[in-house]
Structure 1
Amino acid sequence: MPLGASTTAPAGFLDLCRRSPDVCAEQGVEPTQVWSQARQLFWAGVFDSPSSEPAAVLAPAERDRSERRPVLFRALASSSRNLSWTPPRRSGQAWPSGAAAALQDEASVKLDLTAKDRDRIDRLNRELNRNIRQMSDQRQYGVSDHWAEPGGRAPRGDCEDYVLAKRRALIDQGYPPTAFSIALVVTPWGEDHAVLLMATTEGEVVLDNLTPRIMAWNRTDYTWVKRQAPGRSLAWTRIG
């Protein structure tokens, strides 16, 4: 997949990383670093300035006040400014600065899938598509964009939540987190949509809640917008 310029991560994803840093963790990076970076990017998007961060967010007891969330999402969604991403510093390793750093140290893993792997992944994809009930964030959470892993006896969610559920299930099956990337697309009928990319030795394939079929990314009829940089969590790039 051709990668373009660095861009900001979706607001809902950054909020998820603030609430649940383990979901966005990278090997060798402490959860506190993930939370700090996500928080910085989130508030930079809201106030259009990397250094603008209200005192309230610095206090852990204040950082997840649900009554603030709708206002923050609207503010961040309206910001068109691309934010540079500085990768978290691993112990004993100096990172280059700037947006290109995410791609200079590509850490993705390409899976060499056996027939058994393909069958297992196909079955998991179909089961989650069937078992998770489609429900909008507005109806479930009262906000326009809220990313969360579906849970409970009657899991429900929208496209991003299907993606998170599939990613979690595949990691629990033993597949490496760096083989998976979240991507945002536009459907042929003009709706924003999220899918899960899985990197294989034969190319990246798409796990999608709109179809039970797992297919190569370039065989879909989507318009590809942006994605996580391969092997990264908070680093996002445009596509093409």
Structure 2
Amino acid sequence: MGKAFAGMGLFLACLSVVALSLPARAFSGTEMPVANATIEPVGPAGPTPAWIAFCRALPQECATDASEPAMIVLDAESWNAIVAVNAHVNASILSVTDQDHWGVADRWDYPDDGMGDCEDIQLLKRRLLTQAGLPRRALRMTVVIDELGAGHAVLMVRTDRGDYILDNKRNDVLPWHETGYRYVKREGAESEEWVWLGNQAAPLMTATK
């Protein structure tokens, strides 16, 4: 996949009701994670058309506040909030495709009616974590390629202990490199533009066969 892929409207086939069988290390809400790696952008990227439409409808949800920290100083309180929100939203929202839900191929919106697909579910997690006091600038919507080779949306939480992934496919909150995904692009922390992640592969992709 070339860099031109970053500027295209990526269709996110992200319906999932079962956890992945990846040999990844999970963390409980009472166990603080050890320091892990961050994933750094390699250039600019274009957002999906559905994200652009979402921002037109709710511009306050897409604005970047440069006064907020770009990373969370992770402590027990913030970690427990991250783990709890991920599990709560996964259990509360019925996962359905945009086609079944809205009658369109791709739409990003809040699952206020209790139904949504991957990006809707991650947007709700982002909103709840922001309401809990975490800086939205450190909570980045992210596009990946999943274990089936399909587009998928996750929420990347950027912390001083590394980047962690909230996902509707699992309740475990994992470091980005333990998910088995390939990372395409995410929201930028400096502006409303997205950043290209170079299609970086999590090392465990080779361990899932």
Question: What band does the TM-score fall into relative to the shorter chain?
Answer: 0.7 to 0.9
Q: Which residue of structure 2 lines up, in the alignment, with residue 116 of structure 1?
A: 77
> Which structure would you say has the larger Rg?
1
The match for 2:170 is 211
**Aligned partners of 2:74 and 2:161: how far apart in 1?**
9
Matched, 1:159 2:197: no
Match of residue 107 from structure 2: 146
Partner of 1:16: 54
Conservation of the 8 A alpha-carbon contact between 2:68 and 2:135: no
Q: Deviation at 1:214? A: 0.6
Residue 126 in structure 1 maps to residue 164 in structure 2: no
User: Does 2:198 align with 1:236?
Assistant: no
In the alignment, is the contact (CA less than 8 A) between 1:163 and 1:182 conserved in 2? yes
Q: Any idea what the Cα deviations from partners look like across 1:109-129, whole Å, max 9, x if unmatched?
A: 211122122122211110100
Report what 2:186 is aligned to: 227
Task: Number of aligned residue pairs: give it.
Answer: 160
1:150/1:156 contact within 8 Å kept = yes
Q: Where does residue 85 of structure 1 map in the other structure?
A: none
User: What TM-score do the two structures reach when normalised by structure 1?
Assistant: 0.63
- 2:125 alignment partner AA: K
Superposed CA RMSD in Å reads 1.7
Q: CA deviation at 1:135?
A: 0.8
Q: Which one has more relative contact order, counting CA pairs under 8 Å at least 6 apart?
A: 2
Aligned equivalents of 2:154, 2:56: Cα separation in 1: 21
More strand by share: 2
Q: TM-score, normalised by structure 2?
A: 0.72
Tell me which protein shows more helix as a share of its residues: 1
Q: Percent identity, please.
A: 31
* Equivalent position of 1:6 in the other structure: 44
Tell me the secondary structure at the aligned position of residue 123 of structure 1: helix
Q: Which amino acid aligns with 2:62?
A: C
Q: Cα offset for 1:220?
A: 1.5
CA distance in 1, matches of 2:168, 2:190: 22
Structure 2's unaligned 5+ residue stretches are 1-38, 199-209
**In 2: Cα distance, 1:179 partner to 1:225 partner:** 18
Contact 1:181 1:231 survives alignment (8 Å):
no
Q: Deviations over 1:118-156 (max 9, x none)?
A: 12221111010010000111111111011001114xx11
Q: Which amino acid aligns with 1:159?
A: C
Equivalence for 2:145: 186
Instruction: Trace 1:37-76 onto structure 2 (pairs within 5 A).
Output: none
What is the distance in 2 between the residues matched to 1:184 and 1:174?
24
Deviation of 1:6 after TM superposition, in Å, equals: 1.2
Is the Cα–Cα contact under 8 Å of residues 137 and 145 in structure 1 kept in the other structure? yes
2:63 corresponds to which residue? Answer: 25
Matched, 1:174 2:133: yes
